[in-house]
Structure 1
Amino acid sequence: MKPGMPPPPPRSIGTPLLLLALLLLVVASFASLPLQWAAFFTPEAITSAGEFLAGFSPPEMAPAFLMKTLVALWETLAMSLVGTLLAVIGGLLLALPGSGRLGAPLRVPVRVLLNVLRSIPELVWAALLLVAAGLGPLAGTLALAAHTSGVLGRLFADALENTEPQPEAALRNNGAAPLAAFLYATLPQALPQMLSYSLYRWENNIRAAAVLGVVGAGGLGQMLKYHLSLFQMQSAATVVIAMLLLVAAVDAASFALRRALTR
């Protein structure tokens, strides 16, 4: 160490211990699971998988079935859009008290509520809401909104907490109202990140909406479950292709929107 230089900070052992604990957890996970890799690659398993996949060819291309699939595709897309929009509104409303902007006493209970909302998977929310809303896209839309509100509320709250407080404080010191100072100084700082989070969750909700149909929440998932249960593999193949095309289109649209927002 050179003369006059401050001594180096003491090294913390917390990070190495955490990495060691994660490594031990991974090793214990592999050791505790009965993973039969050899059985997976046996000739019998490969033959059975090949015969199963061959049943999906060729996909069902009848005009009436394609129109039915298109209607279900739109239903899945609409579920994801409406569910994400409701989640953005709910997440923003919960993010304000969750970030401590409406007083410290509200921060902890709202954070607990956000944890509960996002800890329950969409499938569980859908199963619960099907009892109240019945079969169909309403339950799926509300399930997406409930889970995603918890996710976006936490992300929005963190984004608001990480903004620079000086611009808003300067406006309020010069006589601006609290709401106006927040809208003109704090929100513009967090808005690009919040929009990016919302688009990313919309991508996830497309996939989730397709899966929610398995429990009766409508859309492509419900069609897929119906045809698979009847072993109508060619019809199921058409539904799977529609899912892939929808996810690819939404991914491309979301990527383009994020690129446009960051320019």
Structure 2
Amino acid sequence: MSAQFHAPRRGPLILLVLMLAVVASVVRLDLLPALAEASGSAGELLGFLARFTAPELKPAFLAKVGQGVLETLAISLIGTLLAVIGAVALALPASGRWGRTASVVSRFCLNVLRSVPELVWATITVLAAGLGPFAGTLALCLHTAGVLGRLYAEALENADQRPEAALRAAGAPVVPAFVYGVLPMVAPQWLAYGLYRWEMNIRMAAVLGFVGAGGLGAQLYYAMSLFQEARAATIIVAMLLLSWAVDAVSGALRRHFVLAA
């Protein structure tokens, strides 16, 4: 009864706190003056957006965009594959299979890798490896390895350990016991996580070009820098189509392997 009596009183108080937080955020960010200035230049904004409604369709430029699509796809695919390998290598000790010390060190590495955003990794790799798709591939690999490694380690921890223990008790070596006792249970989940991250990386690969990591992002950055709105519109459409295609392929693969499992 006490909880039911106080609940109606807490509702208006929470709503009031949220409203005060919204007002404070608007004041802190100076949104009202910004909106007032934007309303005065609405015509320029509409004109700028209107120039995006006529994408450039010249064959030579479309061929260049096609190369950017393939480069972006390659960056995301290779970066994700390398990340999966690194994630597995770190997930095994992180799950506690190799002792407490190895678990602590591996989890620290995973935390560092996933705590740094892809754009920051791209900035670092561009400085280290130079401009181009190789830097973007490394950036995606480093961040994605941290994310997938944590997920893979949790899947290992939650898996049923009895089949592996039975194989070990029967005299099977460590590696075969893991391959036949645990891996079949976690492999579909690992694959689903990897495909989902690939979907995310295809979008991030297009963004990394803004810091010099190649792909469609670099082409879009150059087009916007030169105020070539028609070319920028073509590149944006290519990004959308590429993301849609990868989402469709990834979703179909996930459904197939989940049903097969």
Q: TM-score, normalised by structure 1?
A: 0.87
Select which of 85, 95, 117 maps to 1:89: 85
Supply the RMSD in Å over aligned alpha carbons: 2.2
Cα distance, 1:131 vs structure 2: 1.6
Say if 1:117 and 1:147, in contact at 8 Å, map to a contact too: yes
Q: Which residue of the partner structure matches residue 71 of structure 1?
A: 67
The alignment partner of 2:227 has SS state of coil
Relative distance call for 1:25 and 1:200 in structure 2 (3 A) is farther
Which residue does 2:208 correspond to in 1?
A: 212
Alignment match, 1:141: 137
Within the candidate set 164, 176, 184, 1:180 is matched to 176
Q: CA separation of 1:219/1:97 partners in 2, compared to 1, >3 Å: closer, same or farther?
A: same
Query: Cα 1:163–1:28, aligned 2, differ >3 Å: closer, same or farther?
Result: same
The structure-2 alpha-carbon separation of the partners of 1:25 and 1:81, relative to structure 1 and needing over 3 Å to count, comes to: farther
Residue 225 in structure 1 maps to residue 221 in structure 2: yes
Residue by residue over 1:114-168, the C-alpha shift from the partner in whole angstroms, topping out at 9 and shown as x without a partner, is 0000011111111111122111000000000000000011110000000011111
Query: What displacement does 1:40 show?
Result: 4.2
Which residue, 29, 33, 40 being the options, matches 1:34?
29
Give the paired residue count.
243
* Residue equivalent to 1:165: 161
CA distance in 2, matches of 1:25, 1:129: 41
- Measure how far apart 1:27 and its partner are: 6.3
Unaligned 5+ segments in structure 2 are 1-12
Q: Percent identity?
A: 57
Aligned to 2:113, the other structure's residue is in SS state helix
For 1:166, give the aligned amino acid: R
Structure 1 residue 48: Cα displacement: 3.4
Maintained 8 Å contact 1:123/1:212? yes
Q: Give the corresponding residue for 1:50.
A: 46
* TM-score of the pair, normalised by structure 2: 0.87
- Find runs of 4+ consecutive structure 1 residues off by over 6 angstroms: 23-27
- Pairing partner for 2:256 from 239, 249, 260: 260
Residue 51 of structure 1 deviates from its aligned partner by: 1.3
Structure in which a larger fraction of residues adopt helix: 2
Shift of the 159–29 alpha-carbon distance from structure 1 to 2, 3 Å rule, reads farther
**Structure 1 unaligned spans of 5+:** 1-19
Q: 1:237 to 1:128 in 2, by over 3 A?
A: same
> Would the aligned equivalents of 1:39 and 1:45 in 2 still touch at CA under 8 Å?
no
User: How many Å separate the matches in 2 of 1:26 and 1:256?
Assistant: 43
Secondary structure of 1:153 counterpart: helix
Cα pair distance change 1:30/1:82, threshold 3 Å:
farther
* Residues 101-140 of structure 1 mapped to structure 2, 5 A cutoff: 101-140=97-136
Contact 1:140 1:217 in 2 (8 A): yes
After superposition, the Cα gap between the structure-2 partners of 1:252 and 1:94, relative to the gap in structure 1 and judged at 3 Å, is same
Letter in structure 1 aligned against 2:120: V
SS at match of 1:53: helix
Give the Cα separation in 2 of the matches to 1:259 and 1:24.
Answer: 44
Change (3 A) 1:45 1:186: farther
